[in-house]
Amino acid sequence: MSRVVSATEARIHFGQLMREVVESQEAIIVERGGKPHVVLLSISEYERMRAAQPRDTWREGLEEAIRVGARIKARRGGWP
């Protein structure tokens, strides 16, 4: 389970919290007003999470369809 600290504690002990996150590879949740607001995590964990995210394949597919449509239209002399 992730450690939880207040925003005030995070501000006062930021350097120490950074070291803890890097050494333990565990995230630290920072709360403000008793509610979670941000998470401190190591760059290696951040990069791992980013790499695991699915890409916008639908957008890539749409862009490819537009390119193919433009090529077809060009071959037909401007007719779709």
pLDDT in tens, 1-34: 789 999 999 999 999 999 999 999 999 999 999 9
Give domain status of residue 80, yes or no: no
CA 10, CA 16: separation in Å to the nearest integer? 9
Instruction: Count up the domains in the chain and report the number.
Output: 1
Q: Are the C-beta atoms of 27 and 51 separated by less than 8 Å?
A: no
Give the domain CATH number at 27: 3.40.1620.10
In a domain, 64, yes or no: yes
Cα separation, 70 vs 78, in Å, equals 9
pLDDT tens, residue by residue, 46-78? 988 888 877 667 777 788 888 888 888 888 877
Q: Which domain holds residue 25?
A: 3-75
Q: What Å distances lie between residue 29 and 11, 35, 49, 75, 76, CA to CA?
A: 13, 10, 16, 57, 59
